Each structure stands twice: as C-alpha cells, then as structure tokens.
C-alpha cells in the first residue's frame, strides 16, 4: 500500500506525457491531412454553349423588374431578368443538353451596356450530373470576350473557385444570344 502511494506522482507524470504526445501526433496528422487535401486539388476545364432567348412566345429569360427610368435609358439600366437558359454541348440549340443556367442578370451600367450576373450553372450530364457552379460578376455583354468569376460550387464542384471566359457566338437584334463558355475551375 505504501509503495503504491509513492509511485502515484510518477504514474501521473507518465500519463500526462502520454496524453501530450498523443495530442501532438493528432495535430501533426491533421496538418498532414490538410496538406494532402491541397495537393489533390483538381483543375477542370468545361466547355459548353449558353442559349439566352428573350424574344418569342417561349422566352428562357424574362424581365421581372425595372425602374421607372429603365425604358428611357439607352442601356435599359435597372432592368432585371430571371433566366432558365439551356447549356448545350455545341452552338446548335438541338445539340446535347448538359445543364441549365438559372438565376438573375440585370442591367447595371448607365453609360455602357453591362450586366451583373448571379447565376447557378446546374449540370445534368455525366460525372457532373447534379453538381453546380455559381457565377457572380460583371458581364460587359457587348465585348466579344468577357471574364466572369466562379465563386463556388456544389457536388463534385464543392469549394470550387475559378473563372469563365464567355464569347458571344451569335447575337440578333431581338436580344437573343448564344454564348460560348470556357470555364476553368479548381476544387
């Protein structure tokens, strides 16, 4: 009995140092795991065509709001549209559907026609089926080539960041457009 009591401080010290060593190993392990996660980041390039139809009986983008002065503005400043635009494999509207671009875009430039886009590109094909990327940024639609930020994603694209290069493929007086998208995402 007396012997055991004498050993107690020693045992406590052994236990404390064991716990400290374990905690350190755990921390090192989590740093290692984080490093590995960074090392396995994937860079993917996606190419597809965006079909925005504002004219006709079945538009894919409709004006949902505007300011009293919008109609008098040369850039339709203040007009806000809600879109559900098909994304296809080639510029042909009847080519394979790969997803839909759903969200809002509005006229945000008073001097120059410029759009602010807040859209979710939801993919419905192959390995990306059910995954989305979020695009938010300025789209100076009259420039032949624009760059838009990819600010996030879901599914395969969880934690995605990247950029989209948008090039007008076709545009007509009614406002309808077919735009080629080349998106680079890291996730």
Q: List the beta bridge partners of residue 87.
A: 50, 99
Angle of CA points 164, 91, 144, to nearest 5°: 50
Q: How far is the CB of 29 from ligand NAG (least distance, A)?
A: 36
Give me the 117-146 binding string for ligand NAG, x by CB under 6 A, dash otherwise: -------xx---xx----------------
CB nearer to ligand NAG: give 126 or 173.
126
Q: How far is the CB of 154 from ligand NAG (least distance, A)?
A: 14
CB nearer to ligand NAG: give 124 or 134.
124
Q: Work out the number of other CB atoms within 10 angstroms of the CB of residue 187.
A: 19
Q: How far is the CB of 162 from ligand NAG (least distance, A)?
A: 10
Kindly state the DSSP code that residue 54 receives in the 8-state scheme.
-
CB nearer to ligand NAG: give 93 or 130.
130
CB nearer to ligand NAG: give 46 or 76.
46
184 touches ligand NAG (CB under 6 A)? yes
176 touches ligand NAG (CB under 6 A)? no
Q: Select from 185, 118, 117 the least CA-distant residue to 155.
A: 185
Q: Select from 87, 151, 74, 95 the least CA-distant residue to 121.
A: 87
Q: Select from 180, 185, 187, 183 the least CA-distant residue to 87.
A: 180
Question: What is the full DSSP assignment across 59-109?
Answer: -SEEEEE--TTGGGSTT-TT-EEEEEEEEESSSSTTSPEEEEEEEEEEE--
**How far apart are alpha carbons 48 and 165 in whole angstroms?**
11
Q: How far is the CB of 57 from ligand NAG (least distance, A)?
A: 28
Number of residues this chain uses to bind ligand NAG (CB under 6 A): 7
45 touches ligand NAG (CB under 6 A)? yes
CB nearer to ligand NAG: give 124 or 168.
124
Chain contacts with ligand NAG (rule: CB under 6 A): 45, 124-125, 129-130, 182, 184
């Amino acid at each position: 009995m007396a012997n055991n009591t004498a050993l107690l401080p020693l045992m406590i010290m052994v236990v404390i140092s064991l716990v400290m060593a374990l905690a350190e190993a755990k921390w090192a392990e989590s740093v290692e795991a984080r490093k590995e996660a960074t090392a396995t980041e994937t860079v993917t390039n996606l190419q597809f065509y965006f079909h925005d139809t504002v004219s006709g009986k079945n538009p894919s983008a409709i004006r949902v709001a505007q300011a009293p002065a919008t109609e008098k503005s040369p850039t339709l400043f203040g007009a806000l549209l809600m879109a559900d635009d098909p994304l296809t494999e080639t510029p042909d509207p009847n080519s394979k559907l790969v997803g839909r671009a759903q969200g809002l875009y509005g006229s945000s430039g008073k001097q120059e026609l410029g759009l602010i886009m807040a859209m979710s590109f939801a993919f419905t094909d192959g390995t990306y089926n059910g995954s989305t990327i979020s695009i938010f940024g300025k789209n100076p639609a009259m420039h032949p080539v624009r760059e838009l930020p990819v600010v996030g994603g879901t599914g395969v694209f969880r934690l995605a960041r990247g950029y989209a290069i948008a090039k007008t493929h076709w545009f007509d007086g009614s406002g309808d457009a077919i735009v080629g998208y080349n998106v680079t995402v890291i996730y």
